[in-house]
Chains A and B, each alone.
Chain A
């Protein structure tokens, strides 16, 4: 079946512009995660959605970052007034649920470059 997809695969934007990154999880997966991977660093947790529960936003680095998810489908990560330090690969993952550490399935990522 189809895996997690993300779009765009690459995004180059000017400092100060807003960007929207999209994630399509695997059908039936109730949990969705966003991570950030900076060059030479590990994955940094950003936000977690589980069903209709309030999202865990504890990893968002600033109020310029926000994310939404409609039901158990598509999610968008929005970065307002982008800064150069926002340049990174943004990864989305989905899993069957919560409580038990279900395997997280990762998308290919969106490479964001802020010039």
Chain B
């Protein structure tokens, strides 16, 4: 069975500083990888996804993530955060041939002015 691990439940970062949110997964088959963001009092929305091809994927709001197959990781990064980036971030895995998303437990990103 696949699983997704987000080791950091909370990450405080100063405004305009860089941030990396970590995501590791385990799976015996090929996967597709996603990052979703949940702003306060809103539903989840897709930030970015890796399906195939280039391992560096760019998403909305200046975020990017890199798929590392050997380390089974898909860490999310942003070079300079803003107050508006305050949200909960979820990493998710979709097995090739399966219809379900398996989510991590989420990382709450707090931006310090």
Partner-B contacts on A (CB < 8 A): 3-4, 31, 33, 35, 40-45, 48, 50, 56, 59, 91, 93, 98, 101, 103-104, 106-109
Q: Does B43 contact A (CB under 8 A)?
A: yes
Known: A3-B43, A42-B4. 14 other contacts (CB 8 A): A4-B43, A31-B99, A33-B101, A40-B105, A42-B90, A42-B106, A43-B44, A43-B103, A45-B102, A98-B99, A101-B94, A104-B46, A107-B43, A108-B43
Measured CA separation A44–B90 after assembly (Å)? 12
Which bucket holds chain B's interface residue count? 20 to 34
Chain B residue with the shortest CB-CB distance to A48: B99
Measured CA separation A93–B101 after assembly (Å)? 11
**Closest 7 pairs (CB-CB, A-B):** A42-B103, A43-B103, A106-B44, A106-B43, A42-B105, A108-B43, A101-B32
Chain A residue with the shortest CB-CB distance to B104: A42
Q: B residues within 8 A CB of A91?
A: 43-44
Chain B residues 19-58 with CB under 8 Å of chain A are 32, 34, 36, 42-46, 49, 51
Measured CA separation A4–B42 after assembly (Å)? 12
Q: B residues within 8 A CB of A40?
A: 9, 105
Known: A31-B99, A42-B4, A48-B100. A103 touches B46 (CB 8 A): yes
Q: A residues within 8 A CB of B49?
A: 101, 103
Can you pick out 28 interface pairs between chain A and chain B where the beta carbons lie within 8 Å of each other? A3-B43, A33-B101, A40-B9, A40-B105, A41-B105, A42-B4, A42-B6, A42-B103, A42-B105, A42-B106, A43-B92, A44-B103, A45-B100, A59-B100, A91-B44, A98-B99, A101-B32, A101-B34, A101-B49, A101-B51, A101-B94, A103-B46, A103-B49, A104-B46, A106-B44, A107-B43, A108-B42, A108-B43
Q: B residues within 8 A CB of A43?
A: 44, 90, 92, 101, 103
**CB proximity of B40 to chain A, nearest CB, Å:** 12
